[in-house]
Structure 1
Amino acid sequence: MKFSNILSCNLERVVKPNLAVLQGCGLGDCDVAKLCISAPRLLTNNPKRVQAIVACAQNIGVPRGSRMFRHALRAVASLREEEVAARVEYLRNTFRWTDAEVGMAVSKFPPVLNKSKESLQRRSEFLISEAGLEPVHIAQRSVILGHSLEGRLRPRYYAVKFLKENGLLKRDSSYYTVFKESDMTFKKKFIHPHKEAALHLEEDYDAACNGEVPTNFRFT
């Protein structure tokens, strides 16, 4: 079981020291609880290993006490230092980032370190080659790499591209804005206002979200 190791750990020599380390990072009880549900090893590992994990989280550019530090700890908890370095290097090459840009991307969205190489490669090809986003733009808004490519990024890109090409958008919204909205808000802003002008827009968009991306969104 996921938490069985906790029951066999020494409370005084392992659990309490690890808890003190996490609290010393500025994590409250609620944060520690959430973190240890997904990464229980942060309570059960040798305290020296937990301290090394904390140092690794800081080394990827996320300061203690920041909102993202819990996510950084979770991202590196199961990785060795050399694995983290290799994944950072892969990100740099895949998204054509500079050292500063890859550091920015990882610090803003640490879970990107846990994405598979195939997943990252496909997102890079779509965002840079198809959607035309600049690498620095992606680095500054790296949270979009956590969104589903087929279920969110690609369908929304096609829908908004259709609206732009047909002069239906009154203002030019950035793709970051388009990608970050909840599904309900996206439809309210970009789909529902154009139901009369583009009768099949919602139908085509829903089909795209289900993996059936049409060659062209239709007017009639």
Structure 2
Amino acid sequence: MLRLRSCVLTQLLSSPPRSPATQLRRLISAAAPTISPNPTSFAVEDYLVDTCGLARPQALEASAKLSHLKSPANPDAVLAFLAGLGLSGADVASVVAKDPPFLCASVERTLAPVVAGLTALGLSRPDIAGLVSLSRERFRRMSIVSKLQYYLRFFGSFGSLLPALRRGLCLLSANLETVVKPNVAFLRECGLVDRDIAKLCVAQPWLLASNTQRVRAVVALAEGIGVPRGCRMFRHALHAVGRLSKEKIAAKVGYLKATFRWSDAEVGVVVSKFPYVLLSSNQMLQSKSEFLIPEVGLEPAYIAHRPALLLYSLEGRMKPRYYVLKFLKENGLLDHDRDYYNAVKLAEKVFVEKFICPHQEAALHLTKDYDAACKGEMPTNFRFT
């Protein structure tokens, strides 16, 4: 019966319905439950294993939340409904394992109206199927339609919204009127446009779903590291400090000062221009300091005013390019000194065109040596004494 119902529903959904109302009627009709001939013999745990595809330990745990079920009629209807949406057996098993009460949802009163509402918003069957797998119990609430309607306008498309949902289902749990919209209004007051807020929330969706006091505290931290509201780096500063406390920020600032021998003013410049340095590991910062200051010979102040140096890969970019510049200089192949930072920040193709290609005849090995250095090796020609 389940297979027959699934096949019928799949056929019904294979062609687009004329309207959400038509789709709703088709979904209800195809997934209409049948009456079990012997409801007293229904074994929930076996049903979860044999019909839903759960492993026995999963079924044992899930069955405790379904002990009231006396018949497979409603679960059968739900499974047929999900199959008709295009969920695979593995997807269905995952949904049931994570949210066993999903099997108790009413197809007619809950699931079909939600699907009809989401379809009216422009979501495709694969979109909706993916949302079922992702949102689980939240899909059983009609409020998901109004929330998706708001977020779709805010993010621009379901494709843009999906990464945020994958990182935090809190967006589907938070109250739009009392939590999300006030947070959006406050972030707008801080100078962020909706596009910036959406980008920020792809990485940290909790910012929209938290109480406003917490969001205000994050804004205060961003201002505290010298990034004022309304400036270009403000969104990045919010991202950087979002998961940090005042104590962790102070500890990182202290480490930066000691490691790079920066003054208070210099470390302030670095953090305000490049807030993500606060998320860098101490080991990585130590390695770059030991390379840039003693080996390359850069002054701490020079680095402080070019904090992007701390962004680039040490082994894959900074060291290989330094070795190329030093080799060219020691062999008289540079007509004048080249600024290290200007060489490091060049795109790979441009760097090769400016510093590798013109010297291939004079230094036949240069291309091979540079490629080796980029892989973490140390060619003999780059061993300087």
- What is the TM-score normalised by the length of structure 2? 0.55
Cα contact 2:225–2:272 (8 A) shared by 1: yes
Distance 2:253 2:327 in 1: 35
Cα contact 2:174–2:180 (8 A) shared by 1: yes
Distance 2:238 2:380 in 1: 42
Select the structure with the greater relative contact order (CA < 8 A; seq sep ≥ 6).
1
2:369 to 198, 201, 204: 204
Distance 1:197 1:181 in 2: 23
Q: 1:185 to 1:17 in 2, by over 3 A?
A: same
Distance 1:96 1:217 in 2: 28
SS of the counterpart of 1:26? coil
Q: Which position in structure 2 is the counterpart of 1:68?
A: 233
Q: Which position in structure 2 is the counterpart of 1:173?
A: 338
Q: Deviations over 1:143-194 (max 9, x none)?
A: 1101100010011111111111111112321111011111111111111111
Q: CA deviation at 1:3?
A: 2.2
Q: Which position in structure 1 is the counterpart of 2:180?
A: 15
Distance 2:291 2:380 in 1: 16
1:148 to 313, 316, 319: 313
Kindly indicate whether residue 297 of structure 2 is the aligned counterpart of residue 132 of structure 1.
Answer: yes
Q: Which position in structure 2 is the counterpart of 1:192?
A: 357
Q: CA deviation at 1:42?
A: 1.4
Q: Deviation above 6 Å: which 4+ runs of structure 1?
A: none
Q: CA deviation at 1:68?
A: 1.0
**Same amino acid, percent of matched pairs:** 61
* Gaps in structure 2 of 5+ consecutive residues: 1-165
Q: Which position in structure 2 is the counterpart of 1:117?
A: 282
Structure of greater Rg = 2
Cα contact 1:200–1:217 (8 A) shared by 2: no
- For 1:8, give the aligned amino acid: S
- What is the TM-score normalised by the length of structure 1? 0.95
Q: Which position in structure 1 is the counterpart of 2:328?
A: 163
2:193 to 23, 28, 34: 28
Q: Which position in structure 2 is the counterpart of 1:85?
A: 250
- For 2:259, give the aligned amino acid: T
* Gaps in structure 1 of 5+ consecutive residues: none
- For 2:240, give the aligned amino acid: A
- For 1:129, give the aligned amino acid: P
Cα contact 2:201–2:207 (8 A) shared by 1: yes
Distance 2:367 2:191 in 1: 45
- For 2:327, give the aligned amino acid: F
Q: Deviations over 1:87-109 (max 9, x none)?
A: 11111111110000000011111
Q: Deviations over 1:97-134 (max 9, x none)?
A: 00000000111111100000101000110111111110
Cα contact 1:201–1:217 (8 A) shared by 2: no
Cα contact 1:61–1:106 (8 A) shared by 2: yes
Q: Which position in structure 1 is the counterpart of 2:215?
A: 50
Q: CA deviation at 1:215?
A: 3.9
Q: Which position in structure 1 is the counterpart of 2:13?
A: none
Q: CA deviation at 1:63?
A: 1.6
1:95 to 260, 265, 278: 260
Distance 1:112 1:148 in 2: 13
